[in-house]
Amino acid sequence: MISTKIVNGKEIADKFCEEIKEKVSKIKQRGIFPTVALINVGDDSASNVYISKKQRIAEAIGISSRIYKFTAHADENELAELIWQLNTDDDVHAILLQSPLPPNIEFRKLVDLIRPDKDVDGLTTVNQGKLFSGASGSVPCTSLGILHLLRTVHKKLEGLHAVVLGRSFIVGRPLSQLLLNANCTVTVIHSFSKNITNVCKTADVLISAIGKPRFVTKNFIKQGATIIDVGINRVEENGKKRIVGDVDLENTLGIAGAITPVPNGVGPMTVAYLMHNTLELTYCR
């Protein structure tokens, strides 16, 4: 049994936000006011919580945020109209389309209306292409946050075997690319993958982003491996609602070398990098 380090994402994010706050204050002295537009569509309770968290942190850092709230009955044209307006509004530096969207609205179609140089979460086809071709552009906030957390545990990522559970365009794919860029050996697992437990057991770094509560147990983990839990799953246990990750944290203690908890792991880093990317897009204008 080894002692497992719990990586406090909240503390790391708070420190990073302090650094961003200083830079925001400097750019504001030049009469430039970083502003992010947050578009929230539908009644997803988690999205409402994330949006208000993003707004709160933006305010604390000195970044202006504008929230555009639509009901689940909003139609695509209405949302497209807003995105076009924000694209041409010189006071808006960054635009975020909060997912998930209601099923009648196609995320890819709408997100690709965002001007790539205002695409704060790096999800437009242009920015995803830039990431995959090695050009500079916006990179998805969660992936940047995960890399930041990994660098607090590992001085060098080169040569490590990173196994990424999940291949979504929001988390799994961009993260795999960032890890490749950091010279890791990367394996990506999805719902068609076989022998998942055995593959995970070869990971020096195991990152789970599949959205399955406590899917990853000690049987998946090599002694001393670093585990990053991206999952945010709402469960009801003993009559109480709570949020758990994809990893059964208690079960992995004593085997994992380091692990991020849920909550207070990756989540705060995603918000911190939303602020970081907003500032970067402000500099670029």
Active site residues: 54, 98, 121
Instruction: Please report whether residue 276 would count as binding ligand NAP according to CB under 6 A.
Output: no
Query: Which of 94, 113, 203, 232 lies at the binding interface for ligand NAP (CB under 6 A)?
Result: 232
Tally of helices (H runs) and strands (E runs) in the chain:
10, 11
Instruction: Please report whether residue 48 would count as binding ligand NAP according to CB under 6 A.
Output: no
Q: C-beta of 192: minimal distance to ligand NAP in Å?
A: 6
Q: Side chain identity at 239, as an amino acid letter?
A: G
Instruction: Please report whether residue 264 would count as binding ligand NAP according to CB under 6 A.
Output: no
Pairing of strands 226-229, 258-259: parallel
Instruction: Please report whether residue 230 would count as binding ligand NAP according to CB under 6 A.
Output: yes
Strand-pairing partners, residue 39, are 68, 97
Instruction: Please report whether residue 176 would count as binding ligand NAP according to CB under 6 A.
Output: no
Stretch that binds ligand NAP, among 17-25, 115-123, 186-194, 272-280 (CB under 6 A): 186-194
- Please, which residues have CB within 8 angstroms of residue 136's CB and are 6 or more apart in sequence? 130
Query: Which of 29, 45, 88, 191 lies at the binding interface for ligand NAP (CB under 6 A)?
Result: 191
Q: C-beta of 168: minimal distance to ligand NAP in Å?
A: 3
Instruction: Please report whether residue 150 would count as binding ligand NAP according to CB under 6 A.
Output: no
Instruction: Please report whether residue 148 would count as binding ligand NAP according to CB under 6 A.
Output: no
Query: Which of 102, 116, 137, 211 lies at the binding interface for ligand NAP (CB under 6 A)?
Result: 211
Helix, strand, or coil here: 110? helix
Instruction: Please report whether residue 144 would count as binding ligand NAP according to CB under 6 A.
Output: no
**In angstroms, rounded to a whole number, what is the distance separating the alpha carbons of residues 284 and 148?**
22
Q: What are the CA-CA distances from residue 174 to residues 126, 128, 130, 154, 266 (Å)?
A: 13, 7, 11, 20, 15
Q: Give a three-class secondary structure readout of 33-93.
A: CCEEEEEEECCCHHHHHHHHHHHHHHHHHCCEEEEEEECCCCCHHHHHHHHHHHHHCCCCC
Stretch that binds ligand NAP, among 32-40, 108-116, 149-157, 165-173 (CB under 6 A): 165-173
Q: Side chain identity at 232, as an amino acid letter?
A: I
Query: Which of 35, 128, 187, 270 lies at the binding interface for ligand NAP (CB under 6 A)?
Result: 270
Stretch that binds ligand NAP, among 88-96, 128-136, 167-175, 253-261 (CB under 6 A): 167-175
Stretch that binds ligand NAP, among 24-32, 175-183, 187-195, 219-227 (CB under 6 A): 187-195
Q: Give a three-class secondary structure readout of 182-211.
A: CCCEEEEECCCCCCHHHHHCCCCEEEECCC
Instruction: Please report whether residue 210 would count as binding ligand NAP according to CB under 6 A.
Output: yes
Q: C-beta of 277: minimal distance to ligand NAP in Å?
A: 14
Q: What are the CA-CA distances from residue 50 to residues 15, 46, 153, 246, 268 (Å)?
A: 20, 6, 26, 19, 10
Instruction: Strands of 101-202 (E only): list them.
Output: 161-165, 185-189
Instruction: Please report whether residue 42 would count as binding ligand NAP according to CB under 6 A.
Output: no
Kindly state the number of chain residues that form the binding site for ligand NAP, as judged by CB under 6 A: 25
Binding residues for ligand NAP, rule: CB under 6 A, are 142, 165-168, 170-172, 189-193, 196, 209-212, 230-233, 266-267, 270
